[in-house]
């Protein structure tokens, strides 16, 4: 998907350089453009030729989008089934549960089996609404909400994540086609929570599961236009897997060696949107 130019600054190219017309959104933008021109002009001089320019650059306009609507005929149950099947095929665990008691019991068994002593959680109202901190405490797990900022010190919290055996998040979206959970970082939602501990547990409500990446793009485009894009977006499609030149697969080199997705598979009134 390719957008046209944003409203704001416009630019016209002349023989003597770049001339600005209209409104330039910021001084930094104009300063960066001048630096770019000076750099390219210097290269042209060193190469002993005139500065080459593209006189007319137009954005691409696609007349068809064959990927759009690919999953429109699928029901939400179909998407949930596909997400679970695909993620499991890539080494991820899926806890598809229909009641609160089901995932609570599964969690208690899992932390005992994995000998989880410490967990770090996103500071997310949805996790708090599930009484997750209380459940972890009952299981004998020391837990901490992620709250790294300039006042608390990022390094301290990264070290805390390294000492944790479990990181817990709530997905901002999920993609059925690739078995992917999508997570937006932000205040209280550090990337280290899903990347550093040995295991990652992520909650997903069934209504958050979409067909494919192109179905998510309109939401990301809207975030961009509203100036609300997160500092990073992580797409996770299974536990960390790396292969050397001999094609030997090793788990957990660049992230958690285990990923478990708790799919809350019910339609009762639940505040799954943050």
105 — pLDDT class (breaks 50, 70, 90): very high
Q: Smallest Cα–Cα separation from 208: which of 76, 111, 84?
A: 76
Please state the domain extents for the chain. 1-63, 76-264
Q: Which numeric CATH code is attached to 76-264?
A: 3.40.50.10420
Provide the whole-model pTM: 0.74
Task: Provide the mean pLDDT of the chain.
Answer: 84
Backbone angles phi, psi at 172, to 5 degrees: -90, -15
Contact 9, 25 (CB under 8 A): yes
Burial class of residue 223, CB neighbours in 10 A (0-12, 13-18, 19+): middle
- Of the chain, the percentage scoring pLDDT greater than 70 comes to 82
Contact 207, 272 (CB under 8 A): yes
Residue position matching structure tokens 């997903």 = 204
Tell me the pLDDT tens digit for each residue of 78-103: 999 999 999 999 999 999 999 999 99
Of 44-48, 136-140, 249-253, give the lowest mean pLDDT range: 249-253
The top-scoring range by mean pLDDT among 39-53, 139-153, 158-172 is: 158-172
End-to-end C-alpha distance for the chain, whole angstroms: 27
CB atoms within 10 A of CB 27: 8
Output the 3-class SS for the chain: CCCCCCCCEEEEEECCEEEEEECCCCHHHHHHHHHHHHHHHHHHHHHCCCCCCCCCCCCCCCCCCCCCCCCCCCCHHHHHHHHHHHHHHCCCEEEEECCHHHHHHHHHHHHHHCCCCEEEECCCHHHHHCCHHHHHHHCCCEEEECCCCCCCCHHHHHHHHHHCCEEEEECCEEECCCCEEEEECECCECCHHHHCCCEEEEEEEHHHEECCHHHHHHHHHHHHHCCCCCCCEEEECCCCEEECCCCCEEECCCCCCEEEEEEECCCCCCCCCC
User: In angstroms, how far apart are the furthest CA atoms of the chain?
Assistant: 74
Dig out the tokens for 113 from the structure. Answer: 């089996």
Tell me the pLDDT tens digit for each residue of 168-227: 999 999 999 999 999 999 989 999 999 999 999 999 999 999 999 999 999 999 999 999
């Amino acid at each position: 998907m390719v957008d046209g130019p944003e409203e704001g600054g416009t630019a016209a190219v002349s023989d003597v350089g770049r001339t600005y017309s209209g409104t330039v959104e910021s001084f930094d933008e104009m300063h960066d453009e001048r630096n770019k021109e000076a750099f390219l002009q210097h290269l042209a001089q060193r190469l002993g030729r005139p500065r080459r320019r593209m006189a007319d650059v137009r954005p691409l306009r696609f007349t068809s989008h064959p990927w759009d609507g690919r999953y429109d005929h699928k029901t939400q149950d179909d998407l949930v089934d596909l997400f679970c099947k695909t993620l499991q095929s890539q080494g991820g665990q899926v806890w598809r549960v229909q009641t609160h008691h089901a995932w609570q019991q599964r969690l208690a068994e899992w932390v005992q089996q994995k000998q989880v002593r410490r967990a770090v959680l996103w500071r997310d109202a949805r996790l708090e609404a599930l009484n997750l901190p209380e459940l972890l405490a009952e299981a004998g797990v020391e837990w901490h909400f992620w709250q790294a900022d300039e006042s608390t010190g990022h390094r301290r919290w990264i070290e805390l994540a390294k000492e944790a055996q479990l990181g817990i998040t709530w997905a901002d979206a999920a993609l059925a086609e690739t078995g992917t959970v999508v997570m937006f970082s932000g205040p209280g939602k550090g990337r280290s929570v899903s990347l550093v501990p040995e295991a990652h547990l992520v909650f997903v409500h069934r209504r958050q599961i979409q067909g494919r990446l192109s179905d998510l793009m309109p939401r990301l485009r809207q975030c961009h236009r509203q100036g609300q894009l997160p500092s990073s977006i992580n797409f996770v499609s299974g536990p960390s897997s790396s292969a050397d030149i001999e094609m030997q697969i090793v788990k957990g080199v660049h992230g958690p060696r285990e990923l478990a997705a708790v799919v809350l598979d019910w339609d009762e009134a639940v505040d799954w949107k943050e």
